[in-house]
Structure 1
Amino acid sequence: MTSAEAMRTEAAALLRAAPERLRVPFDDEDLRRWIEYRPTPRRPGMGLGELGDDGRKAAHRLLATALAPHAFAQAMAIVALEEVLDRAEGYRRGRHSADYWVVVFGTPAPGERWGWRFEGHHLSVTMTLDGDTVYSTPVFFGANPLATAYRGRPVLAPLAPEQDLGWAVLDAVPRNLLPQVVRTATAPADIYSGPRADVTPPPPGLPAVELPDAARDRLDELVALYLERLPADIAPRVDRDRLSFAWQGPAVRGGRHYYRVQGPDLLIEYDNTADDGNHAHTVLRRPGSDFGGDVLRAHRAARPH
């Protein structure tokens, strides 16, 4: 079964298990072209806390159609961290792991334009479909705390690979090239793309073709990590020779830091600056193809209404 087929199957099951207010018209651009990874009192669709057991399970099954097994495990750990964060904050904000929302745009049927989103604090996954074509971004994963340890031993760190491979790329950059890679001594407060539907990519970093082989190999691993959050049949294809890598913040471990990878219709960002460097945001975006790009406009041009 292709990912598109699986999404149609699970979205239809979700709509059977839950009330119709899960569904929003596909051409509601304000709600469909939406990413909000910060806490907010309400989102489009229904929260997991409003769904019964069957509805919650259907929502999780739908999410699983868009993520590889390891990425689905990361997503579920991010959801669980809401309870950990709530405890750390003294339960002042009432965070909870049922405060994640699912919504379906349009009708999940063969040949149709439709989409869906699973979203809450530090997690936003949006899939847009035009028939069997899946536009598989944006995909946002965050974590607070980034890592929990017991006497120096890790207990839970769902975004450890994203952090470790970022450092591996920087460590492999020769000292004479560091000034071209490390753009500023301080990291930005958040990812540049932010919670915005439309992205203006920041300036590119050092071209990958100018990196030595060791650094390029690590960069390839880093890019693969983000692309392989998705099943192989819907993961973006990228030209590795047209990528660039940029870093902001100290070039030594322990400081607040940020990196990005860019290429044609590709933006990967990682930012770890809040809470003394123990609170990370990561995102995989395609600035020209997020939310289906111009799929709605193209559809209307091909089929005048």
Structure 2
Amino acid sequence: MSFRITTLIFASSVCLSSLALAFQSPTQPEAQFDLAQQLALKPNSDSPFDVRYWLEQSAYHGYIPAQKQLAKDYGHGLTGEIDYSQAIYWFTSVALNDPTDSGFLLADFVQRHQAEVSKADLVESWYQLAALKNPQAEEAYNQFLEERFNQLRAKQLSEIVDLDKKAIAQEEQENMTFTTQQKAESSSVWYAVGAFGLALLIGGGAFGYRWHRKRAHIQSDHEITQSQQLENQVNELQFANKQLKRQFEKVFKEFKKIKEQTDNQKLAVACAMFGYTPYSIPDSKAVKLRYRQLSKLYHPDSRGSEEEMKRLNLAFKTISQNVTKG
């Protein structure tokens, strides 16, 4: 009996899960837009990404309210990263498809973001929309993307070369500085070692002399004097030992400092290739997505080369070691 009840409960839970999944995966643009609105009111760790996803699904089906909301979302970064190019794309789509708008939202957005929106963003968005229905526009759009890609790659390569030169120059300078410091520290260390050995010799000689004098029945006041001298020698020996320890610690700290500076320079070069900075590295999902996009550009089978692909793989490895968990 208990087995039947358990089976019935399991089957019921499966059915309920299927119904919930079906409810959460609408296919009509109005329902997709409503789901995005509901998720926006009850945020959790995944809600922001889900909100933008369902807005995109509804907008691509031509639902005007979703297109307006998605354009604002991209323009202000409400549930994800700001993307002015995508914001212009959807504002333009609203201008073309909503007679009550007739381009007002597009003009207002461009006017408010003149410093951030470039002519290239406008051209790309308009070409992209025109290419949906016009073969001539599609060809022009592809040519525009190729020219922009070539400019971007040339800029990236130039920045990477500059960073490499700076890294090499800095590394050479640091190596020279470290070598100079190392020589100075080595001289100090050997001086301390020499003083240490000299103290041992003096201490040993004093101890032998004291022992010899004791056996010869030297007066007690002489013995006290020798004991004090021996104690002074021991104190000097301890002081030399501490000095030697400080010298080694100082050399080790300098070595760690130089290694950290070199690692930071390598990270800056890697971030430049991905379009990041060492202080704005996103989560691992975004880094992997950017890597896949760049792989299509730098792969030898595309427009890249083996050398560029190796550089990209090295940059991806370096950034992955410093990526935020997400």
Structure 1 or 2: more helix by fraction: 2
Which protein is richer in strand relative to its size?
Answer: 1
TM-score, normalisation: structure 1: 0.29
Higher RCO (CA-CA < 8 Å; seq separation 6+): 1
Please give the TM-score of this superposition, normalised by the length of structure 2.
Answer: 0.28
